[in-house]
Chains A and B, each alone.
Chain A
């Protein structure tokens, strides 16, 4: 019995260790970008770049802060506490660096639809949540697709 408990405890520690979610970066099909570098993606996520090179306004779309995908982004890119995510964006709206808060939507289905409809949208959802229909495409990051080795959000 003791052995089982110890094994369960060790396994528990192993599996509760920070594991990042696999994130697909999706954009509207009309967006000419197909490959984006991690550093440029970071600039977009920090709202330092608010327009695509073709002039379309960038609309950031996230899943809720409780989702693995958004938490992975907060850990990897923003490097702040999860509860500070709202404050991070509120400060940028307050000092008028950005016009509106990013869109945060519960359903991956709705995110897929919004990305299909908004030409400048960029969303971060689970790899298995990407709709095969609709006007969307998955971006390569640093030249890699989500299922390839070396993809940064894996």
Chain B
């Protein structure tokens, strides 16, 4: 059969050239084109038939023994019959093509109708088609340290640890209303460090309904990130978003020894104004505020009737693309703790914050400072100051980084010093390298040297952080 291929190839190429030439030469209708194609095909098949016949007769006469000859004759005959059928009915293939095209068109029409239904009335949704988006974060860490940080911690100096397992859900209820939830499974040593009980804690970190009125007014009701500084409302629990292994000490979670509240329950209004020369973003929240200590949450009710108020402004000047800066302030009255004789008084808390951030292309520069002012109303005023500065530069998949953390607590602050958690004066340098193993998995290796209440600690850590 191979000897037939050369003439076949030549004929096919000639036909193709002829067809192309015809198409280029003049504009013809699709019907005419199909008729022409069929005619050429018929002619070609007739020529082919004659050639095959000739070759077959010669071959049978000269080469094959009688038994093989019979089977070969049958094989060739059946092929010949198929070809003959195609030659006799050249429209069959055309009909097949047309049928396929009809199916495709019907499928496309179905898609069109589905999409129309989906987006009817501009609501973006129809009944039964409400979409729930679930994403999440996780991380696993390994650490070595040469000294324990603080007195309350009682563990070895090298260990593996599970980070947060964070489920993030959002669902659009209409074009202007959405729901958001962030639930975190935390693996901790538990409240009783010796017994190591309750090692898993489930925290609803965010649960809110969001009303989008326009660019200037967006309302959140529920539990949300407080609008204080940059890190808290931007990254908070998303460890995969962090360049570093851990969040800065000054914005650490309040139940992990952080001095600033990060989440609260209440109402938040926010918005953006696009002004001449800069974008002005604002956020203001009224919430239950702090409980009697740093670990007490007030999601269900509030011990006192005094609400916490936080306000933030964030400016994005157009002339410096990538720059964001602005102040924030938080006001609350912390209730007295009847069970703690050193906390007999209410405390007025005012937190002043400021951030300057520059993120563009390969450069990431984050810096924030906070001053926490506690006033016992009876004369005692205590100030805590802290902040951090972080620099990172991306080179392909690598991102080397450096951060300096600083916190200076007031020695006699009754709120921090009478807590079960350690609030330590901190001076810490961290250098590290982040490597993007895949789009959704980052490996981080870092070294920290810190002085925590005059205790020197060196820490080497490794983390694999992912999003799913």
Contact = CB atoms under 8 A, between A and B. Distances in A.
Interface of A: 43, 48-51, 55-57, 59, 79-80, 83, 86-87, 90-91, 93-96, 99-101, 109-110, 113-114, 117-120
Contacts of B233: 95
A44 B115 CA distance: 24
Interface stretch (B18-26, B208-216, B248-256, B424-432): B208-216
> Size range of the interface on B?
35 or more
B168 A94 contact: yes
B178 A99 contact: yes
A117 B467 contact: no
Interface in B148-169: 168
A48 B279 contact: yes
A94 B274 contact: no
B133 interface: yes
A57 B272 contact: no
B234 A90 contact: no
A91 B234 contact: yes
Interface in B226-257: 233-236, 238, 241
A101 B133 contact: yes
B212 A94 contact: no
Contacts of B133: 93, 100-101
Nearest to A118: B119
A99 B439 contact: no
Contact of A49 (B168, B208, B274): B274
A137 B457 CA distance: 64
Contact of A96 (B119, B122, B220): B220
Contacts of B108: 109
Contacts of A55: 214
B216 to A, nearest CB: 9
A93 B172 CA distance: 12
A50 B225 CA distance: 21
A117 B178 contact: no
9 contacts: A48-B274, A55-B214, A86-B439, A94-B135, A96-B220, A109-B108, A110-B115, A117-B115, A118-B122
B360 A79 contact: yes
B38 interface: no
B235 to A, nearest CB: 8
A107 to B, nearest CB: 8
Nearest to B116: A117
